[in-house]
Structure 1
Amino acid sequence: MYLNHSRGFSDRSARIGNGRSPRRPSRLPYALIAVGCALVLFIAAVVGYVNRSVDVELNGQKTAVRVGSTLQNLIDDQELTDTYDAGDLLAVDDSVLKRHGGEKLSVKVDGKRIKQGKWDSRELEGGEKVTVKDGRNTYEKHEVQATVIEPKLKVEGTGAIEYVQTWGVQGRSEVWVGEQSGKTQDRGEVVPATDCVVACASVAPKGNEKYVALTFDEGPSGATKQILQVLKEKGVTATFFLSGDAVEASSATAKAIVDAGCEIGSNSYSDDSLKGQDREAVREQITKGTEAIKSATGVKTMLLRAPYAAFDEQNWIDAMDLVSAVVSWNIDSGDWLLNGADEQVSTVLDSVTPGNIVLLTDRDECAEQTLEALPQIIDGLIADGYKIVTLSDLVKTDTSLSKKLTSLTKVTMPKDAVFPQLAEDDDTTE
């Protein structure tokens, strides 16, 4: 026994001496268990998140839905098709073809109508306001025979400044032919035309403050630079309506007007009246005038004073996209009559009221008289408390007008606008 024990001891000692340690239990199973538990918890969390509930407002009441639910899910879960009635299917003459054959439900999300075909694709994320009501009546499939309704031109008000207040937009009338009923029905004016309105107004400065605008026609002339010198010495500016042909003959003088800080508009190309001319001729006169001014001064203006202030309804129809405003005057100084400077001065000073536009002529024939009268007119106006400004600045003094006529020199015709037609004369008599 002793020998056996000693031998056993010796064997163990030998093993220890050989550098071998006793085997320990493996930790791998525990690690796998931990990873598995974590994975289970993660999957549970993901599933819980994906299937979480969110609140939407259904007809004013808070309602819980699973996130990602569609409108169709909401409608089915709340049994809304049993709560609300479908609309009727109507013939083109509004008679009922099929009771409850129309729209199933009327559904809106955040105020936007959602068609039935999109209910099963419109997901709810929470926070939406869903409105469900009875379905609307719908019409049978039908052929539409449409007729365009052209807008008419209306001219409203009185005054020296004319501008497009409302652009004309086409309307539409329709005749429907039902596929199921076979009926034909005139639906009348389904989209009303918007008539074009040209407004006429004079300037009424806020608080009746004393503002006035001096304007010169037909330039530039040989006297233009002298007129500019008078304006500079008096510390005022004016508005010059330039003739295109005169600008071409004296482009440097036209540029000098702009450099002096004065405003420019067009007096058309030549001194021919636009009334009675055809559309092409009217547009050519206006376009050539503005192009000549742009070439000489670098300024593109759409402000027009028609020769002789003659611009009628047909002219507006032909060229309203080319002019921002058509301006005449409140006071004609009469300088073109050549009645003498004193007469010209008294005509202006005895007639002026706040917001007036004064007509003067920048023409060689009137030059001597105009240059004599102009300093007196300016001095008299200033002495009476008037501030002399450009036309654009004059319009700005009128709170109401400046909101409607935001730019006196620029305009853009809207894409959906069209040129109107003349309104038919009312020849009805009793």
Structure 2
Amino acid sequence: MRKIMIITSITIVLFISLGYLLNELSKSRTFQFFGGLVTSVEVNEKLVALTFDDGPGANTDKIVDILSKHDVKGTFYLTGHEIENFFDDGVKIVQAGHEIGNHSYSHKRMVFKSPSFIKDEIERTDELIRQIGYKGEITFRPPYGKRLLFLPYYLSKNERNTIYMNIEPESYPEIASDSNKIVKHVVDNIEPGSIILLHVMYESRIESLNAVEGIVTSLIEQGYTFVTVSELIEYGRENGK
């Protein structure tokens, strides 16, 4: 009986350890099993990409107006489901000249999912992105940043990188609750080639929305230029990075 208990305990520990390891790998900023992972880009100029996950949604007009006021182009990672629900708002983002990225159809964690599920989530959303009028390259960012095997494999086979970020102020609850703290976090951590992530489409994210103008004006004062994710990657290629 004692031997069985020991074996059971060891098995439980191993499963817990394996689960922890897989979870850490699924959100790693430095490693994935297949394809390219972009968290930031090495560039010689003060360039930065401002990205927004989720949507389109209730605050589409507000964020488009803020960016237009400062002549800034962002990259919006939209979900297919929300494009269907807020189709006209998706069109507005495209017509304002912003880059559109794919953030899956359903915004489910794309780990431990079948290859057919992953293919459908991405291709269904690609089609909707084309329907709202976007004609540029469609980059992909996984929901919650999660990926393990099948998602990176699918992306690599289709010559697409996994787009991540290196500045994510909302990941700290004490910062996410205050727009001034969000601005300060971004300004304190910015460096050439950074990719900033914010969520601004919902009323629950009003502090993030309120932080956008402060982020934009502060970084412009520091000499930064805002570019899209695709432009940032292209600048990196031109510099041999």
TM-score by length of 2: 0.78
Are 2:177 and 1:339 equivalent residues in the alignment? yes
Give the one of 373, 376, 384 matched to 2:222.
384
1:296-353 CA-partner distances (Å, limit 9, x unpaired): 2253654110101112233222453446222010100217944111121111111111
Where does residue 11 of structure 2 map in the other structure? none
Q: Which amino acid aligns with 1:244?
A: G
Matches within 5 A, 1:223-238: 223-238=59-74
Where does residue 200 of structure 2 map in the other structure? 362
1: CA distance, partners of 2:230 / 2:197: 16
1: CA distance, partners of 2:160 / 2:239: 14
2: CA distance, partners of 1:336 / 1:294: 34
Matches within 5 A, 1:302-321: 302-321=138-157
Give the one of 90, 99, 102 matched to 1:266.
102
Q: Which amino acid aligns with 1:396?
A: E
1: CA distance, partners of 2:46 / 2:31: 18
Q: Which amino acid aligns with 1:289?
A: T
Q: Is the 8 A contact 1:160 1:327 kept in 2?
A: no
Question: What is the DSSP-based 3-state SS (H/G/I as helix, E as strand, rest coil) of the residue aligned with 1:215?
Answer: strand
2: CA distance, partners of 1:278 / 1:197: 16
Listed as ranges, the gaps of 5+ residues in structure 1 are 1-157, 163-195, 404-430
Give the one of 93, 100, 103 matched to 1:257.
93
Q: 1:373 to 1:319 in 2, by over 3 A?
A: closer
2: CA distance, partners of 1:402 / 1:270: 36
Q: 1:319 to 1:237 in 2, by over 3 A?
A: closer
Structure number with bigger Rg = 1
Are 2:68 and 1:198 equivalent residues in the alignment? no
Q: Percent identity, please.
A: 28
1: CA distance, partners of 2:215 / 2:111: 32
Q: Which amino acid aligns with 1:395?
A: I
Q: Is the 8 A contact 1:161 1:327 kept in 2?
A: no
Q: Which has the higher strand share?
A: 1
Are 2:160 and 1:299 equivalent residues in the alignment? no
Q: Which has the higher helix share?
A: 2
Question: What is the DSSP-based 3-state SS (H/G/I as helix, E as strand, rest coil) of the residue aligned with 2:54?
Answer: strand
Aligned residues: 211
2: CA distance, partners of 1:378 / 1:241: 19
2: CA distance, partners of 1:362 / 1:161: 28
1: CA distance, partners of 2:78 / 2:229: 14
Q: Is the 8 A contact 1:274 1:306 kept in 2?
A: yes
Superposed CA RMSD in Å reads: 2.6
Q: Which amino acid aligns with 2:230?
A: S
1:397 Cα shift? 2.2
